[in-house]
Amino acid sequence: MKKKHHYRMLFVLLAAGLLCSCGTAVKKEAPRLEAYNGFAYTEENGQKKYILETRNDIRLHCYFQSGSEEYEEVIYDLELSEEEEDSAEVTRVMQEQGEDLTPSFTKFAFVFYPEKVVMTVERNTDLMAGGDSDNIQTGTYTLLASDWMPDTSATMEKQDILAPYQSVELAAMVRAYYLKESNFLAPEVECVKNDDGTTTIHLYEIMEDDEETSHTGTSAWYTVDGYGKGKDDVMGNTVEFPAMSLSEIAEYVKTPIALTYSEEGEAHNEWQITDAATIDACMKALKQLVVGEETELRTMDAGETLAFQMADGNVWTLDFEAGNLLRNNTCYETEGWKNVQNVIWDDLVEEGLR
């Protein structure tokens, strides 16, 4: 059985740097490399160790063993600089969790031949820990054609269809990221929208000094754009938060203090809900939503909007059309909306408002 972990490596052009050469670099075009899709380096036991994906974006699929017989798949998204017709070097390595791995490699390059790809790796062992089984090791690897095909089981939702993210969603992504990195879920979060369009997010907890006094214990500060890219304001390194589905975001959103529910039909109707139990039940139902592919089925008089008000003053707005998520003027097939709707309608009926 394989565990799958996605690590995004963004390789961008550097004027100077550890992996950069003095030649002119341009983005390697995927269409020209499509013939190399599925080329793999295979170990003696038959296990494919490194697989190149070039069908759309360029990715390197790696299979590592971290102290067990079970292989874990690690995926790197690549952007290659081009110096010569059939060779390319990696100029920057960015892990999905936001750690800049560029100094960990002194060389990372590909040479493309008609029937093979040669990948050369020189690793800075002083900076990159790990044994032979759980890291790319220094060496030259020959990748040959194979029948490998990428796993397409993941839903479209994680392909950043929600981006650009709202401030509340970014705050949820930061909480999830920090939990994974530090094994601690910050109980409090505050986000501030900046004039330049970025969002500054503060993770913290209230520390009780005694019965009368307390202080704020800061976990982290991040400033990111609407796509979750930015920097760790404490450590100074760049970060890029992985895409999250709507249900995952709902899992890490702090409990709202109020909900405005509106309907757009023959007339506009709007209700304010402050009952904590109803809001909590609504959030639980959102965690069960499954967002799928884009749909062209549109209904102009069946719109519904949820506007959650957060304790820090921010608002999380979700639009649905005939039960399907409406995002960036595009509708996506959505399973589970009826459960959310029933929670809200039951509350309105109980209050005599519907």
Place of tokens 């913290």: 204
Average of pLDDT values for 124-136?
66
Task: Please indicate, yes or no, if residue 314 is contained in any of the structural domains.
Answer: yes
Residue 200 in contact with residue 223, Cβ under 8 Å?
A: yes
* Highest mean pLDDT: which range of 4-8, 82-86, 150-154: 82-86
User: Which has more pLDDT, 122 or 25?
Assistant: 122
User: Could you give the CA distance from residue 250 to residue 244 in angstroms, rounded to a whole number?
Assistant: 10
pTM as predicted: 0.58
Residues 167 and 234 grouped into a single domain? yes
Q: Closest Cα partner for 344 from 265, 259, 269? A: 259
Task: Please indicate, yes or no, if residue 305 is contained in any of the structural domains.
Answer: yes
Q: Percent of the chain having pLDDT more than 70?
A: 82
Residue 310 lies in domain: 258-350
Average of pLDDT values for 263-268?
84
Task: Please indicate, yes or no, if residue 150 is contained in any of the structural domains.
Answer: no
Query: Does pLDDT of 131 surpass 80?
Result: no
Task: Please indicate, yes or no, if residue 253 is contained in any of the structural domains.
Answer: no
Task: Please indicate, yes or no, if residue 40 is contained in any of the structural domains.
Answer: yes
Residues 7-29 pLDDT 10s: 433 333 333 333 443 433 334 44
- 75-84, 198-207, 234-243, 339-348 — which is least confidently predicted? 75-84
Residues 17 and 48 grouped into a single domain? yes
The CATH number linked to 243 is 3.30.160
Query: How confident is the model at residue 124, as a pLDDT?
Result: 85
Query: Does pLDDT of 189 surpass 90?
Result: yes
Residues 33 and 165 grouped into a single domain? no
Residue 320 in contact with residue 326, Cβ under 8 Å?
A: yes
User: Which has more pLDDT, 18 or 210?
Assistant: 210
Categorize the per-residue pLDDT at 202 as very low, low, confident or very high, splitting at 50, 70 and 90: very high
Residues 279 and 204 grouped into a single domain? no
Query: How confident is the model at residue 159, as a pLDDT?
Result: 52
